[in-house]
Every structure is written in structure tokens, then in C-alpha cells.
Amino acid sequence: MKRYLFASDIHGSVYYCEKLLKAYEQSGAERLILLGDILYHGPRNDLPKDYAPKQVIAMLNPLRDSILCIRGNCEAEVDQMVLDFPCMADYALLYLNDLCFYATHGHVYNADGDGSQLPPIKDGDILIHGHTHIPVAERREVGGRHIYVLNPGSVSIPKGGYVQSYGLLSGHDFTVTGFEGDVIKSISLT
């Protein structure tokens, strides 16, 4: 089974983008899947460490053939003009290791509340998103459906007392890991 690295909310941090790319290289992952908020910090966040969106562009563009990307709430059309990989899709339906993933940023589709913000997914499907900057790896009943909800946390601006992190799918196992190698959350998706 193949490996896939998921990351969200880089927010223009060269320092943490470098850590992410090192983790991606060491993971042996087939693809780097970015769940939005790549270049800008947005009006609700403080500037992340070593904020330099132009340098993040230069770091990510050489990996254009390995990156799948979703638009976050901080992305704008101008971002697509400088990034060499598509970044403006609101979601992607991915079939990875015989599992169905609905990948999105999380500001429109998510598993909060009564399920009214769920995307069109079935029992057993996987909703993966960023946006909250809080790692999640759990099975939930939402809106009458039993689904998996995953969030790799934030690469640069974690919230809720968590550390900077990313997610790795290896076979049917998903793990959220900090850049120091500490496992934050994990789940078997079977």
C-alpha cells in the first residue's frame, strides 16, 4: 500500500514549509496533499515564524508534479498565477489505498454540528480537512452517517495547545505527527 502525506495551513511560513518538505521526503509518500491556506496568514492569525510567501512559492513549485492541492479560505485567484500546480479546487474526491477520501479545507464542508455541513459522502467514507488548526483522527456518527473525520492540524499556526503537524496515510493507517516525530493522533481506517 502507498503512503500519502497530508498538510494544511502553511500560511506562508518558510521555516515550517521547510520542515514539511523534509518530512515529506523522509516519509516515502507518493504525493503531498495540501488542504489549503498555503501562502497567506489571513486576518485572524498572527504572522507565522519566517513569514515569506514568495519563498514558500519557490519551495513548492519544483514539486508541482507531486502536489495535489485544495483551496483554503485564504487563497485568492492571484495565488494560482504564482503557483505551478492547481490550487483553486474547493474539494477533491480521492481514492487512496482502496479508501474514499473527500478532501476539502473545512471552512465550507466539515463534520461540525448536526451534519448539515457534511459534503455528499456515504457511510465509511473519510472526510479530511484543515482550517481549524486542530488535529483530528476519529470515527464519528454525523447526520446519520458513520464516517471518519481527519485533520492533520496546522503546519505553522497550531491551535488548542497542539504543536505544528502533518498527517500520513500508510496503507489504512492515518497518523498525525509533529515535526519532532511525536505521534499526536492515529487511527486505523478499516
More confident residue, 88 or 1: 88
Assign residue 82 the CATH number of its domain: 3.60.21.10
- Residue 70: pLDDT above 90? yes
Q: What is the pLDDT of residue 143?
A: 86
Q: How many domains does the chain have?
A: 1
Taking only the tens place, the pLDDT of each residue in 105-115 is 999 999 988 88
Instruction: Report the distance separating Cα 142 and Cα 77, nearest Å.
Output: 33
Residue 80 main-chain phi, psi, to 5 deg: -65, -25
In contact, 68 and 31? CB cutoff 8 Å: yes
Domain region containing 139: 3-188
- Residue 23: pLDDT above 90? yes
The closest alpha carbon to 11, from 30, 35, 31, belongs to: 35
Q: What is the pLDDT of residue 16?
A: 98
Instruction: Report the distance separating Cα 30 and Cα 99, nearest Å.
Output: 15
Instruction: Report the distance separating Cα 1 and Cα 82, nearest Å.
Output: 33
The cell numbers describing 70, all together, are 485544495
Q: What is the pLDDT of residue 45?
A: 85
Q: What is the pLDDT of residue 1?
A: 87
The least confident of 7-11, 40-44, 72-76 is 40-44
Band of pLDDT at residue 34, cut at 50, 70 and 90: very high
